[in-house]
Amino acid sequence: MEMLVPPWLESLLSTAFFTICPRHREAPRSECNMFCLDCNSSDAFCFYCRSTQHRDHPVIQIRRSSYHDVVRVAEIQKVLDISGVQTYVINSARVLFLNERPQPKSSTSKGVSHLCEICGRSLLDPFRFCSLGCKLVGIKKSGDANFNLSTKNEEIRDGMGRRLGSKEEEEEEMREGSQKDMYTSTPIPPQYSTSRRRKGIPHRAPFAS
């Protein structure tokens, strides 16, 4: 039976990020904000550790938003099925949260249409979970979701990407073509100078007999 959760996910969710790397403490990029999907370890590491110890390994980078750990959708969706998890746009990048966040005390669920099935946090859109951690709990409870990307889903997604790219290219070509037509379809009339124009010899109409 195919596993619903990849073996590295729970380690990722329990890892403490943004500590200072003991090996590169004096370096400017010494924050441990990276995680390796191959190594059987829950230790985060820094930029320099990646270049030396995880150079050929699949690595994802964790970022921070309001003191909470997030990961970019563009990175995590390559290795996880993130369907059902609320995403957010932060600093022009679409991200999702790794773990559940405490609901602010001032917040209330009254009038809120969408709530996380696990922690009850209010959501912006009709998703089931507020984070990867809550989706993990939901999978363990009911088993009606999973994190694994199937080959079929990957083929569908890749095909959609190719079709979207082709459509965008066609639209761009159409826009460029319209602009070219706008500038070339109407010929510019020649500019004649009147300073050198000679008067023609006048011709009188013949007298009628």
| Res 120: pLDDT | 92
Q: How far apart are the first and last CA of the chain?
A: 115
pLDDT band of 35, cuts 50, 70, 90:
very high
Identify the CA nearest to 127 among candidates 113, 137, 139. 113
> pLDDT at position 189, please?
40
Contact (CB, 8 A) for 20 and 31: yes
Q: Which two tokens stand for residue 29?
A: 């990029």
pLDDT at 27: 92
Domain positions in the chain are: 7-102+112-142
pLDDT at 119: 94
The answer to whether the beta carbons of residues 125 and 109 sit under 8 Å apart is no
Q: Which helix (H) or strand (E) holds 132?
A: helix 132-142
Tokens of 16: 């403490």
List, in sequence order, every residue forming a beta bridge with 88; answer none if it has no partner. Answer: 95
